[in-house]
C-alpha cells in the first residue's frame, strides 16, 4: 500500500559538521514523502512527484508543517521517569537518594508495565521513535519495556541492568544470575520484530570483576547485541574507578579489558576522557551518547563534541532521563548547543538534527534502517508544526531559511510542536492525545 505525505521535508544525508555543510542536508520546501509497506519509497519535490503518483494514492496534505525523521534517543532510563527533576545532588549521591529507590519498585511487573506504557507514549508524543533504554536489574522490567515497545511497533534497544557491588541489596544480582538472566532475555527478545538487546552493566563501579568478565563473555557470544553502559561522567566516579581498578590506564581501559568495547558499544556521557581513550573508542567502533541536560543538571561537566568528532568517535544525542531534565529531543538539542557554545564550539541546527537522527542512528549501528528518508529505510517520522505555540508561530514568520526555522524550533519548541509521530508509516495513537 502506498501513502504520500505532502509537507516541507528536511533530513540529513551525512554529518553537516560544525560549519553546516549544505550538501549534508536535503530540504524540500514543498515535498512528498512516499511510503510503501512501512518503508520509504521515494522523497522529492511535490511538483515532480505528484503528477507521477498512481491515481489512487492517498495524499495527506500537511502543507505548512515540517516532516523530519523520528528522533533517536541514545541513552535513557525508563525506570527514572518519575524522579526526573530531583533536587540537589551530584551523580553518586543522586543515585543513592533518588535513582535506586525508584528502581527498586520495578520488581513489581505491573508497576514496570504501567511506567513503560507512559514512558513510550511520552517519547512518541515528543517525536522520539527509537531509544536505547536502561531497564533495571529485574528481568520483568525488561519484559515490560520490550512488550510495550512491540505493541507500538517501535524500534527499541533495552537490557537488564547488571550490578553486583556497591548498591542496595535488593538491587543486587550476581555474576552468575546476571549472566543467566541476560542470556534468557537475549533469547527471548533480541531480533524479535524491531527490538534489540543491550548487555547493560550499570557502570564499572557497581560490578565485580567476575560480573564484568561475564558481561564481556556474553558480548562475545552474542556479537550482534549491543553493550550499553556509563563512562566517565563525574570526577568522583572517575577517581573511584581508578582506585577499584588500579591496574587500568583509564576508565575506558577497564571496559576494554573486559571485552566490552566493540562495535555496538554505547557509552553514556564520556566527559572525562583523554586523547588515547578517544582514539581507542574510535578504533574499536564504540560510540558516545551526549547527554547535555543531564550533564548540566548533575553538574557533571561539558561534553567535548569537537574532540570526539575529530578522533572519529560516533556520537548520538541522548536525554538520560531521569538525570536528564527533559524527555524532549528538541529541548535536548537546545541544551547541546549551549554546552558546546560554552566551550567555543558551534552547533548549527542541521548538525543538532543530525545528532538526534542519522548521527544517533549511526551511533547505535542502526543507520542502515533508520535516521533519514533514504528509500528502503523504515518510515519513522515526526510532523513538526511551527504554529504549535504562540512563540514558535511568531518566530517562524521571520525565519528566512530552513536552518533559521529549525534553530527556532529547537530553542522554542516542545511537544506542542509535535503534531504527529508516525511509526513505519502509521500514525502513533499516542500523538493524538493532548498532554494534561
Ligand atoms: N551512572 C551509573 N548509573 C547512572 C544513572 O542511573 N544515571 C546516570 N546519569 N549516570 C549513572
Ligand atoms: Zn544514564
Q: How far is the CA of 258 from the centre of ligand 1 (A)?
A: 20
* Cell triple for 61: 496534505
At residue 167, the 3 state secondary structure works out as: coil
Q: Which ligand is nearest to the CA of 162?
A: 1
Give the distance, in angstroms, between the CA of residue 222 and the centroid of all CA atoms in the same chain. Answer: 22
Our measurement of the distance from residue 143's CA atom to the centroid of its chain's CA atoms, rounded to an integer in Å, reads 20
Per-residue pLDDT at 433 = 63
* pLDDT for residue 5 is more than 70: yes
Q: How far apart are CA 181 and CA 196, in angstroms?
A: 16
Answer for the pair 312, 319: CB distance below 8 angstroms, yes or no. no
Ligand 1 atom nearest to 323, measured from its CA: 9
Mean pLDDT of the chain: 97
Query: What backbone phi and psi angles, to 5 degrees, belong to 246?
Result: -65, -20
**Residue 20 pLDDT greater than 90, yes or no:** no
- Its pTM stands at 0.98
Instruction: Output the CA 78–ligand 1 centroid distance in Å.
Output: 12
Q: Is pLDDT at 302 greater than 70 in this prediction?
A: yes
Ligand 1 centre distance from Cα of residue 230 (Å): 7
Owner of C-alpha cell 532521563: 321
**Residue 94 C-alpha to ligand 1 middle, in angstroms?**
9
228 three-state secondary structure: strand
How many other CB atoms are there within 10 angstroms of residue 140's CB atom?
Answer: 17
Pocket of ligand 1, candidates 204, 268, 295, 300: which has the most ligand atoms within 8 Å of its Cβ, to mutate? 268
Site to probe by mutation for ligand 1, drawn from 94, 303, 323 as the one with most ligand atoms within 8 Å of Cβ, is 323
Please say if the pLDDT value at position 435 is more than 80: no
Here the cell at position 339 is: 554546552
Distance 202 CA to ligand 1 centre (A): 7
pLDDT digits (tens, 9 = 90+) for 41-94: 999 999 999 999 988 899 999 999 999 999 999 999 999 999 999 998 999 999
Collapsed DSSP state (helix, strand, coil) of residue 96: helix
- Closest C-alpha to ligand 1, atom 1: 230
Q: What is the CA radius of gyration of the chain?
A: 21
Cell of 403: 536552518
Atom of ligand 1 nearest to the CA of 298: 9
Ligand 1 atom with minimal separation from the 237 CA: 1
* Ligand that lies nearest to the alpha carbon of residue 233, given by its number in the listed order: 1
Q: What is the reported pLDDT for 42?
A: 97
The tens digit of pLDDT for each residue in 190-220 reads 999 999 999 999 999 999 999 999 999 999 9
Terminal-residue alpha carbon distance, the chain: 35
CA dihedral 122, 123, 129, 134 (to 10 degrees): -130
* Cell triple for 275: 586523547
Q: How many CB atoms within 10 Å of residue 386?
A: 24
CA–CA distance, 10 with 72 (Å, rounded to integer): 16
Quick count: other Cβ atoms within 10 Å of Cβ 208? 17
Q: At what angle do helices 349-356 and 329-341 cross, to 10 degrees?
A: 130
Ligand 1 proximal residues by C-beta, below 6 Å? 77, 91, 95, 99, 202-203, 230, 233, 294, 320, 323
Ligand located closest to 83 CA: 1
Q: State how far the Cα of 225 lies from the Cα of 86, in Å rounded to an integer.
A: 33
Q: From ligand 2's centre to the CA of 74, what distance in Å?
A: 10
Ligand 2 centre to CA of 203 (Å) is 9
Ligand showing the shortest atom-to-Cα distance for residue 75: 2
- Report the atom number in ligand 1 closest to the C-alpha of 77: 6
Distance, CA of 421 to CA of 135 (rounded, Å) = 24
Amino acid at each position: 500500500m502506498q501513502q504520500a505525505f505532502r509537507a516541507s521535508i528536511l533530513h540529513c544525508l551525512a554529518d553537516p559538521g560544525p560549519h553546516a555543510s549544505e550538501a549534508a542536508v536535503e530540504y524540500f520546501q514543498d515535498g512528498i514523502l512516499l511510503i510503501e509497506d512501512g518503508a520509504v519509497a521515494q522523497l522529492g519535490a511535490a511538483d515532480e512527484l505528484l503528477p507521477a503518483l498512481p491515481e489512487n494514492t492517498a495524499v495527506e496534505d500537511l502543507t505548512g508543517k515540517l516532516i523530519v525523521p523520528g528522533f533517536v534517543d541514545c541513552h535513557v532510563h525508563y525506570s527514572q521517569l518519575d524522579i526526573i527533576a530531583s533536587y540537589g545532588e551530584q551523580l553518586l549521591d543522586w543515585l543513592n537518594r533518588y535513582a535506586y529507590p525508584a528502581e527498586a519498585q520495578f520488581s513489581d511487573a505491573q508497576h514496570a508495565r504501567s511506567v513503560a506504557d507512559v514512558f513510550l507514549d511520552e517519547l512518541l508524543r515528543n517525536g522520539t521513535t527509537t531509544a536505547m533504554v536502561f531497564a533495571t536489574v529485574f528481568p520483568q522490567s525488561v519484559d515490560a519495556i520490550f512488550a510495550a515497545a512491540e505493541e507500538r511497533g517501535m524500534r527499541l534497544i533495552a537490557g537488564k541492568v547488571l550490578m553486583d557491588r556497591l548498591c542496595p541489596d535488593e538491587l543486587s544480582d550476581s555474576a552468575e544470575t546476571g549472566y543467566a538472566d541476560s542470556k534468557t532475555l537475549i533469547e527471548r527478545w533480541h531480533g524479535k520484530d524491531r527490538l534489540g538487546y543491550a548487555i547493560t552493566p550499570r557502570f564499572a563501579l557497581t560490578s565485580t570483576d567476575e560480573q564484568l568478565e561475564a558481561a564481556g563473555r556474553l558480548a562475545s557470544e552474542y556479537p550482534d547485541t549491543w553493550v550499553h553502559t556509563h563512562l566517565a561522567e563525574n570526577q568522583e566516579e572517575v577517581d573511584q574507578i581508578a582506585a577499584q581498578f588500579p591496574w587500568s590506564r583509564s576508565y575506558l581501559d577497564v571496559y576494554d579489558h573486559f571485552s566490552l568495547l566493540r562495535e555496538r558499544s554505547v557509552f553514556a556521557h564520556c566527559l572525562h576522557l583523554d586523547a588515547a581513550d578517544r582514539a581507542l573508542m574510535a578504533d574499536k567502533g564504540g560510540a558516545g551518547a551526549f547527554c547535555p541536560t543531564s550533564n548540566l543538571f548533575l553538574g557533571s561537566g561539558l561534553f567535548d563534541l569537537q574532540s570526539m568528532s575529530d578522533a572519529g568517535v560516533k556520537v548520538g544525542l541522548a536525554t538520560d532521563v531521569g538525570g536528564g531534565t527533559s524527555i524532549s529531543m528538541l529541548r535536548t538539542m537546545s541544551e547541546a548547543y549551549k554546552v558546546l557554545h560554552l566551550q567555543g564550539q558551534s552547533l548549527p541546527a542541521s548538525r543538532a538534527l543530525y545528532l538526534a537522527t542519522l548521527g544517533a542512528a549511526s551511533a547505535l549501528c542502526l543507520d542502515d534502517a533508520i535516521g533519514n528518508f533514504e528509500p528502503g529505510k523504515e518510515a519513522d517520522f515526526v510532523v513538526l508544526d511551527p504554529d504549535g505555540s504562540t512563540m514558535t508561530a511568531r518566530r517562524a514568520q521571520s525565519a528566512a531559511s530552513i536552518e533559521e526555522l529549525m534553530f527556532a524550533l529547537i530553542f522554542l519548541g516542545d511537544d506542542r510542536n509535535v503534531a504527529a509521530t508516525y511509526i513505519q508509516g502509521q500514525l502513533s495513537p499516542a500523538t493524538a492525545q493532548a498532554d494534561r
